[in-house]
């Protein structure tokens, strides 16, 4: 079965969050806090937003494929 890209993305975000949690156990100064609350938090949120939009698009494409299964317009592409 072919995986959907948003599912792979979800997995990668979990790996990133896990890696940050492990690093944060040992890196507890001001720059670490700034990184975790700034660039990392922004990256994670932007990535989640992107994956949600991608999930919506993939669902729409899947529905269109199901609705048009077996149909053809007679045109060769």
- What pTM did the predictor assign? 0.76
pLDDT of residue 73: 59
Q: Are 3 and 45 in contact (CB under 8 A)?
A: no
Per-residue pLDDT of the chain (77 residues; tens, 9 = 90+): 567 888 899 999 999 999 999 999 999 999 999 999 999 999 999 999 999 999 999 999 999 999 998 776 555 55
Q: Which long-range contacts (CB under 8 A, 24 or more apart) does 50-56 make?
A: 50/9, 51/6, 51/9, 51/10, 51/13, 52/6, 54/5, 54/6, 54/9, 55/4, 55/6
pLDDT confidence of residue 76: 53
Alpha-carbon distance of 52 to 56, in angstroms, equals 6
How crowded is the C-beta side of 59, counted as CA atoms within 13 Å? 7
């Amino acid at each position: 079965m072919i995986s959907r890209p948003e599912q792979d993305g979800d997995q990668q975000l979990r790996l990133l969050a896990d890696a940050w949690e492990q690093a944060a156990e040992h890196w507890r100064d001001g720059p670490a806090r700034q990184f975790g609350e700034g660039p990392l938090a922004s990256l994670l949120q932007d990535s989640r937003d992107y994956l949600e939009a991608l999930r919506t698009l993939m669902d729409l494409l899947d529905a269109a494929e199901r609705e048009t299964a077996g149909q053809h317009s007679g045109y060769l592409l």
